[in-house]
Structure 1
Amino acid sequence: MGLETASAAGELATEPFVLADDFYQDPNASYDRLRARGPVNRVRFPDGSTGWLVTDYDAAKETFMDPTISKVLKSPGARTALASNGGGNHLANSMFADMLVFYDPPEHTRLRAVVNRAFATRAIKALEPRITEIADALLAEPATGDLDLLESYAIPLSMTSICELLGVPEQDRDNFRTWSTMLISSDHPNAVRMAAVQEFVGYLGRLIQAKTQAPEADMLSELIAVGADEDRLTQRELLSMVFMLLVAGFETTAHLIGNAVATLLADNNSRAALREDPSRIGDFIEEVLRYRSPTTETTFRYTTAPVTLGGIDIPAGELIIISVAATGRDAGRFAEPDTIDIDRTDNQHLAFGHGIHRCVGAPLARMGGVIGLARLLDRYPDFELAPGAETEWRKSFVIRGLTNLPVRLRP
């Protein structure tokens, strides 16, 4: 790229690119147009706020690793950046400010250590038999016929797994799902979403109190014990951590399974390969994470000093969001990015982030996706889209998933 071309790209990147309503149904069309303008672009987001969207793989890794780009939501700099860019709705409920994802070191390091211990590889691996048992029980019910695979399988498998892990009583799980759906969906007005936050937080407060008085063998009781014994978690930190783990853990795994099934419905070659060698399901799940990630855009960051990302100069006090979904389709990093290839080597996608904010629940989501798809293919290898079925993508800026997935099951 010559100097004149680079300069033109930099100027073009400062012109706001509007993400319209059609973005939710076909985000890759917008990502392609953005990449043609430059690796980082100023964007008007669906909620009306403005900021910079990173769609280039290398620029995304730069952003993840730059210590001058902060995640601290409750800092004065963040509040100024949000207010000046029309993102004040992020401040409507201070519960978000205490989430692990909205801390920088050293506070982030302290909180991350607590979660890492609870999500240790050995602890997650121990869940495999129970997740398999839940999947088999769900698949034993449908027999054959047409059904919504999200409602009857992917969602209850993910919801049951994460709720059992954290110790959410069975009778409360439908409410949990309702709250989560409201929070993630862009269909609901902000006031409705904030009301759901308040209800959810109130419920979690009561649950934490109950488990403080009568601990059980679950992760929530363990997190409470850490706060009590080592004085490492405040009540708000604990609330926010459980809030984040429940919502992120449930939504990511459910839609990883749904997106994997949706991909196989249009990819007979991959289905044949997995039927011939089920041990390749893990490779396929990694391709789904790259090609159709259930997480799309990260939570916001802001610049504390002027930075240059992908050759684009960005002033201090600007909001930045990384599109991990877009980076998976970056032709500069992945050969034939719009093609599913389970033989792809060096598939270092960014679906779970990068650096210190890499998703702590990634091993659990991967395991849930592999088990969920493996048990489905074992029992119903010839599933197909239900005749006359129509599917639609959820209207959400952070989760890429379908609203329904009507399939016909055939053993």
Structure 2
Amino acid sequence: MSEAAVLPQPFGEGFAQDPYGVYARLRAQGSVHRVALPDGAPVWLVTHEADVRAGLADGRFSVDKRHSRGGFQGFSLPPALDANLLNIGPEDHLRLRRLVARGFTPRHVERMRTAVQAAVDALADRFTARLEADGVADVVDGLARPLPLKVIGDLLAVPEGEYGRFAGWIGSMLAPGSREELAGAVRSVHAYLVELVAARRAAPGDDVLSGLIAARDSGDRLSEDELVSLAFLILMAGSETVQHLISGGLLTLLTHGEQRAALRERPGLLPEAVEELFRYAVPNHTAIRRFPTEPVEIGGVRIPAGDTVMFSIASAHRDPARYPDPDRFDIGRADKAHLALGHGVHYCLGAPLARTQVTLALGTLLRRLPELRLAVPADGLEWSTTFRFRALRALPVTGA
């Protein structure tokens, strides 16, 4: 009998119905658990906030697959895409981060904020028109999904006429119907990004991709594969997380009337509310898998080198040892030091842009549609739930 066959499997049907209840039971039993993922792969799951935070900053937990002894390794990519910031060792990681930072100049960052608000306004116009015409509209389809795709398209200088197939490939990667569909989408995106990098190199523009191509540090610069891998990472990380934070964040506000009323009275509190939403409604339930480079003790448990370790951000965010009354959404909460955007060397490079998109999208909806409300009961909403993330499939609203 295999090890996985006798391990606890916490990510079954009960998890989909009540993931935070599962996390609470696991935390009560201890911080570190040897469990099986739905596909049977054995992993170590870390649930206490203090241990999750410490583990994410511990250099002995590597994201480099070369340190794995097998088991769950995550998304399988072609070699040319696999050498990105989420899969490489510390020396290459720091070199790439330094070069990438040179591509994200203050001018680009400010230009992105202006572009995000313009994109939000355009989508909100169409969303409001649909709401007025039909009485009901889906926030996911109308704003949460297309916004990050438009923003990333601008970052990578994707021609607007090509957004359609670009969006189709991303959808196939985030929710593939089959392994063949996933592999086909990855191949298509890879080929497209190779062409895009070549085009921007031949004719640079005032975009972040051109800035990355031009970035140098003491004669060093990004290789072709590194550029394509970074573009792929920006594409994947930037589209999924932002989409789910906008839809999940709005649902949270619509189902917490007193907090929404406080925000209406004091709109300047929106940045504080967004930080609490990152804690309370984080869609990515686990950080990217890690592999200890040597035996490591965490939470009183010795984890062998090479085993797969999953740090549960969602569980950490509901740990009462860190956050008083953690299941309560409170925009006035004093401690909002969440882990939704990472911690340590792998802190998200796109964190400012993610915050900007969520803040501007939610602020615009609340300002322009103050009577917005759910069109169906909250318990009737459909979710996509895996051990890795939990996200709304649709968010129908009314009240134009």
Same fold by TM-score, threshold 0.5 exceeded? Answer: yes
Once the two structures are superposed, the pairs formed by residues 16-55 of structure 1 within 5 Å of their partners are 16-55=8-47
Q: Which amino acid aligns with 2:271?
A: G
Call closer, same or farther: CA 1:235–1:321 in 2, change over 3 Å.
same
Residue 117 (1) aligns with residue 107 (2): no
2:160 counterpart residue number: 170
Q: Quick check: 2:381–2:395 contact (8 Å CA) kept in 1?
A: yes
1:11 counterpart residue number: none
Query: What do the CA deviations read for 1:243-296 (whole angstroms, capped 9, x no partner)?
Result: 000111122222211111110121101110111011111111111110111322
Residue aligned with 2:384, SS: coil
d(CA) in 2 for partners of 1:370, 1:125? 15
Q: Which amino acid aligns with 1:34?
A: L
Q: Quick check: 1:252–1:399 contact (8 Å CA) kept in 2?
A: no
Once the two structures are superposed, the pairs formed by residues 90-129 of structure 1 within 5 Å of their partners are 90-91=75-76, 93-119=78-104, 123-129=108-114
Q: Quick check: 1:70–1:303 contact (8 Å CA) kept in 2?
A: yes
d(CA) in 2 for partners of 1:38, 1:205? 47
Q: Quick check: 1:287–1:347 contact (8 Å CA) kept in 2?
A: yes
Once the two structures are superposed, the pairs formed by residues 152-167 of structure 1 within 5 Å of their partners are 152-167=142-157
Moved more, 322-331 or 225-234: 225-234
Q: Which amino acid aligns with 2:243?
A: A
d(CA) in 1 for partners of 2:164, 2:312? 30
Deviation at 1:347, TM superposition (A): 1.1
Deviation at 1:314, TM superposition (A): 1.0
Q: Which amino acid aligns with 1:212?
A: R
Q: Which amino acid aligns with 1:64?
A: L
Deviation at 1:355, TM superposition (A): 0.5
Call closer, same or farther: CA 1:360–1:92 in 2, change over 3 Å.
closer
Gaps of 5+ in 1: 1-13
Query: What do the CA deviations read for 1:60-104 (whole angstroms, capped 9, x no partner)?
Result: 12211222221112x2x32xx22xx2x367456334531111122
Call closer, same or farther: CA 1:361–1:92 in 2, change over 3 Å.
closer
2:234 counterpart residue number: 245
d(CA) in 2 for partners of 1:183, 1:103? 22
Query: What do the CA deviations read for 1:349-393 (whole angstroms, capped 9, x no partner)?
Result: 111111110111111111111110111111101101114784211
d(CA) in 1 for partners of 2:87, 2:158? 24
d(CA) in 1 for partners of 2:167, 2:42? 30
Once the two structures are superposed, the pairs formed by residues 172-251 of structure 1 within 5 Å of their partners are 172-185=162-175, 188-226=177-215, 230-251=219-240
d(CA) in 2 for partners of 1:395, 1:246? 21
Call closer, same or farther: CA 1:364–1:237 in 2, change over 3 Å.
same
Report % sequence identity. Answer: 37
Deviation at 1:307, TM superposition (A): 0.6
Call closer, same or farther: CA 1:41–1:184 in 2, change over 3 Å.
farther
Call closer, same or farther: CA 1:338–1:179 in 2, change over 3 Å.
same
Residue aligned with 1:127, SS: helix
Residue 296 (1) aligns with residue 288 (2): no
Find 2:57's aligned residue among 59, 65, 76.
65
Moved more, 350-359 or 63-72: 63-72
Residue 130 (1) aligns with residue 122 (2): no
Aligned CA RMSD, in angstroms, stands at 2.2
d(CA) in 2 for partners of 1:63, 1:266? 33
Q: Which amino acid aligns with 2:63?
A: K
d(CA) in 2 for partners of 1:89, 1:340? 31
TM normalised by structure 1 equals 0.88
Q: Quick check: 1:154–1:257 contact (8 Å CA) kept in 2?
A: yes
d(CA) in 2 for partners of 1:326, 1:379? 34
TM normalised by structure 2 equals 0.91
Q: Quick check: 2:108–2:208 contact (8 Å CA) kept in 1?
A: no
Q: Aligned residues, how many?
A: 389
Gaps of 5+ in 2: 1-5
2:3 counterpart residue number: none
Call closer, same or farther: CA 1:177–1:55 in 2, change over 3 Å.
farther
2:337 counterpart residue number: 348
Call closer, same or farther: CA 1:26–1:176 in 2, change over 3 Å.
farther
Call closer, same or farther: CA 1:304–1:388 in 2, change over 3 Å.
closer
Find 1:331's aligned residue among 309, 320, 337.
320
Call closer, same or farther: CA 1:376–1:238 in 2, change over 3 Å.
same
d(CA) in 1 for partners of 2:230, 2:36? 30
Residue aligned with 2:35, SS: strand
Q: Quick check: 1:394–1:403 contact (8 Å CA) kept in 2?
A: yes
Residue aligned with 2:194, SS: helix
d(CA) in 1 for partners of 2:196, 2:105? 24
Residue aligned with 2:319, SS: coil
